[in-house]
Structure 1
Amino acid sequence: MAFKMSVQKYAGKISEVEIGAGEKAIKLGGENVMPFYSFDGETGNTQKIGIEILDVYPENWVEPLKNLYKDVASNPVDWAKFVEEKFSPDFICLKFEGADPNGFDKSPEECSEIAKSVVEAISIPLVIAGCNNHEKDAKLFEKVAAAVDGYNCLFLAAVEENYKAVGAAAGLAYPHKVGAESSVDINLAKQLNILLTQLGVKGENIVMNVGCSAVGYGYEYVASTMDRIRLAAFGQNDKTLQMPIITPVSFETWNVKESVALVEEVPEWGSQEERGIAMEVSTASSALAGGANAVILRHPKSLETIKKFVNELA
């Protein structure tokens, strides 16, 4: 008897969200099956990979990364152009670390000028991340959203503490996309999506960041949360969870001991750079296999590896 593969069909489908403008705009989502399950149905748009840059010199980054970008890292415009031309990511994530009130405390006006200069200098989409101070990010995104009007950026992220301000600026006053950030919990992710849509932000303009951790650091919670979100979106046709997912992998993996410990401290662990890449690749591949439609990375070798991973499975 000939083998007949069973097919798992779902009623639900992930919404399609476009980021960027022009020929190099990208689309996330559109699938109605679990990641890479092309044998079950429509896999939607290919997963996208971006590179992180900062608005300030990356003093806290490990030396191998600082050396890699040493000629351009003092100027975010030069850094963005260098990354686009040399490594060809699908998008760039500009993180405003310099806006942190406990650091340089750059003003929203200064940051908006930087964002405008960066987005005008590149041809690929721009994802804009804040400083992780929720109050400052609300003020920051309001100014930056106006400065990059017309470029259809994704803003990371709206959280429960500031979703009204971020959603109003990035999703209502200006035609951008809003990242809804929750902390590894399906109920929190769903609640924030509901709050944003009640505010008036359309579901097709929302991308979820459901949380991340480096592999080995409680990643099983991330994996189980992604599974539950995707199965609810597909199997239960839960429209409040049918948004694409973006996972900022680099924000987590380059801060764990395996990535930051010097060779002199743990010579038996080998190259610090290779350790960091391994953590980033392991986490990114896990996130993509679990349901992420896009990941943010920091090292170009990680980008190269994950691109190959996606191309061979897509």
Structure 2
Amino acid sequence: MSVQGFKGKIGEVTIGTGDKAITLGGQNAVAFFETEGEGANTPKIGLEILDVYPEEWIASLQELYKDVAQNTVQWAKFVEEKFNPDFICLRFVGADPNGLNKPVEECAEVAKAVAEAITLPLVIAGTNNHEKDAKLFEKVAAAVDGHNCLFLAATEDNYKAVGAAAGLAYQHKVGAESSVDINLAKQLNVLLGQLGVKNEDVVMNIGCAAAGYGFEYVVSTMDRIRLAALGQNDKTLQAPVITPVAFETWGVKESIAELEDAPEWGSREDRGIAMEVSTAASIITVGSDAVVVRHPKSLETLRNFAGALV
């Protein structure tokens, strides 16, 4: 059998502290080609929680979290104890300037309390408002100092502020978010490096789309990034990849259409899980080192899937 050898290797990035810390990356071959490489860490699956009550989530998830979702710390502890994901992703929806516009100081207090209440690694996601996220992450990074969190994400618009706070001042990990383009991903990694953020402190978020919604562009971009990193030994692209699948899949029509509007599609919960699992499984198969999902059933399915492939 012919074996393809690669000169490059994906760097390893560790998130969290203690026994529950996780390490992403480490592979020197394309995903799941064990005969052609070694050293890859198992793909990690995280569950999403919010800093506010999940008003827009499906009824079954609201019911599942009804006793804890009003308190983010209790919610995080519940997720850790009941589902034990590889990590928890705390998403600050409440800080969105177009929503509740919670002050960053309040968010920092919440993040600190969550980080101290759990033993799992913590991934912290913002509002997707780049200006607000720069201010948010600066305060939150200081509040969770010592917990080695991953911040999603630094973008071309705010990488200086996010990189300086998360990656330099408080030694957290920085998510470098680009828009499904190898050149943009490379450029942002270079800019973070010039800022002083170390390669081993960067995890890429190359973008995501739900399956059937331009997802083939995500796959082709992932392929190009991995082949450049491994085959061409391009060190600017040798970072692990995290994909926040939940942020995309629960907003498409197949997931949000009510049963009475599309009875032939079946239950909304089953459709949402199917969309989430199919998207996450696909992106894991082509090389993503970690994914964020929302539904515990998705977590269980993907954990079994990833375990069976390695």
Normalization by structure 1: what TM-score?
A: 0.98
Aligned match of 2:54 = 58
Secondary structure of 1:70 counterpart = coil
Q: Does 1:35 align with 2:6?
A: no
Aligned match of 1:44 = 40
Q: Displaced runs of 4+ in structure 1, greater than 3 A?
A: none
Alignment partner for residue 199 of structure 1, among 171, 181, 195? 195
CA deviations 1:217-238 (Å, max 9, x no partner) are 0000000000000000000000
Aligned match of 1:93 = 89
Q: Does 1:300 align with 2:296?
A: yes
Task: Supply the AA of the counterpart residue of 1:154.
Answer: L
Query: How far apart are the structure 1 equivalents of 2:197 and 2:89?
Result: 22
Task: Supply the AA of the counterpart residue of 2:225.
Answer: I
Number of matched pairs: 310
Query: How far apart are the structure 1 equivalents of 2:131 and 2:61?
Result: 30
Aligned match of 1:211 = 207
Q: Does 1:172 align with 2:163?
A: no
Q: How does 1:221-260 map to 2 (within 5 A)?
A: 221-260=217-256
Q: Does 1:272 align with 2:268?
A: yes
* CA deviation after TM superposition for structure 1 residue 158, in Å: 0.2
Q: Does 1:140 align with 2:139?
A: no
Aligned match of 2:21 = 25
Query: How far apart are the structure 1 equivalents of 2:184 and 2:60?
Result: 37
Aligned match of 1:114 = 110
Alignment partner for residue 158 of structure 1, among 131, 154, 157? 154
Task: Supply the AA of the counterpart residue of 1:218.
Answer: G
Aligned match of 2:76 = 80
Alignment partner for residue 99 of structure 2, among 100, 103, 106? 103
Query: 8 Å contact 1:48–1:295 — kept in the other structure?
Result: yes
Query: How far apart are the structure 2 equivalents of 1:23 and 1:305?
Result: 24
Task: Supply the AA of the counterpart residue of 2:56.
Answer: N
Secondary structure of 2:35 counterpart = coil
* CA deviation after TM superposition for structure 1 residue 43, in Å: 4.5
Task: Supply the AA of the counterpart residue of 1:231.
Answer: L
CA deviations 1:118-169 (Å, max 9, x no partner) are 0111001000000111000000000000000000000000000000000000
Query: How far apart are the structure 2 equivalents of 1:225 and 1:246?
Result: 14
* CA deviation after TM superposition for structure 1 residue 61, in Å: 1.4
Aligned match of 1:188 = 184
Aligned match of 2:278 = 282
Aligned match of 1:313 = 309
* CA deviation after TM superposition for structure 1 residue 39, in Å: 1.3
Aligned match of 1:67 = 63
Query: How far apart are the structure 1 equivalents of 2:266 and 2:56?
Result: 21
Query: How far apart are the structure 2 equivalents of 1:269 and 1:244?
Result: 36
Normalization by structure 2: what TM-score?
A: 0.99
Q: Which runs of 5+ in 2 are unaligned?
A: none
Secondary structure of 2:19 counterpart = coil
Aligned match of 2:119 = 123
Task: Supply the AA of the counterpart residue of 1:186.
Answer: I
Task: Supply the AA of the counterpart residue of 1:164.
Answer: K
Q: Which runs of 5+ in 1 are unaligned?
A: none
CA deviations 1:153-212 (Å, max 9, x no partner) are 000000000000000000000110000000000000000000000000001100000000
Of all paired residues, the percent bearing the same amino acid is: 73
Query: How far apart are the structure 1 equivalents of 2:81 and 2:31?
Result: 29
Q: Does 1:261 align with 2:249?
A: no
More deviation in 70-79 or 294-303? 70-79
Query: How far apart are the structure 1 equivalents of 2:61 and 2:91?
Result: 16
Query: 8 Å contact 1:33–1:43 — kept in the other structure?
Result: no
Q: Aligned-pair RMSD on alpha carbons?
A: 0.6
Task: Supply the AA of the counterpart residue of 1:226.
Answer: M
Query: How far apart are the structure 2 equivalents of 1:58 and 1:233?
Result: 38
